[in-house]
């Protein structure tokens, strides 16, 4: 792929990703799976890596998140809600665990692995068995 073709594909990817960001973050109406979105995003990242002169400040790769839905108020979490990078294979999970073991060689690290439901993250706070937040 030459630079002209890359520029055209990059612009197509940016437009498509922006559309999906708007549908997901602002309208709560996604039309593609997280996995399909991740593939589009990765293709854009790869092309911008191959053609760094085509990276622009308004590229989806240069920003963090989208606008939050107005229906939700802002909340400070007691403990940050963090997540891992996307993993799609057993080998990627094993690689992550191996990195943890190298960082903490003297620790036994128990792990629980659960599938992620697309687009769901919940932090609940209970006071004496009653949901507070």
Residues known to be catalytic: 116
Kindly tell me the burial class for residue 93, based on how many C-beta atoms sit within 10 Å of its own C-beta (0-12, 13-18, 19 or more): middle
In DSSP notation, 15-49 reads HHHHHHHIIIIISS---S-HHHHHHHHHHHHHHHH
Question: Burial letters for 56-76: b for 16+ Cβ neighbours within 10 Å, e otherwise?
Answer: eeebbbeeeeeeeeeeeeeee
Cross-strand bridge partners of residue 126: 131
């Amino acid at each position: 792929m030459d630079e002209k073709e890359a520029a055209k594909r990059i612009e197509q990817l940016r437009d498509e990703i922006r559309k999906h960001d708007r549908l997901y973050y602002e309208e709560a109406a996604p039309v593609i799976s997280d996995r399909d979105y991740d593939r589009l995003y990765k293709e854009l990242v790869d092309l911008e890596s191959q053609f760094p002169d085509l990276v622009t400040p308004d590229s989806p790769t240069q920003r963090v998140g989208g606008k939050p839905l107005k229906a939700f108020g802002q909340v400070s979490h007691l403990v940050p809600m963090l997540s891992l990078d996307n993993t799609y294979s057993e080998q990627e999970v094993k690689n992550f665990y191996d990195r943890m073991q190298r960082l903490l060689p003297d620790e036994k690290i128990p792990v629980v692995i659960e599938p992620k439901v697309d687009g769901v993250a919940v932090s609940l706070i209970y006071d004496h068995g009653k949901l507070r937040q």
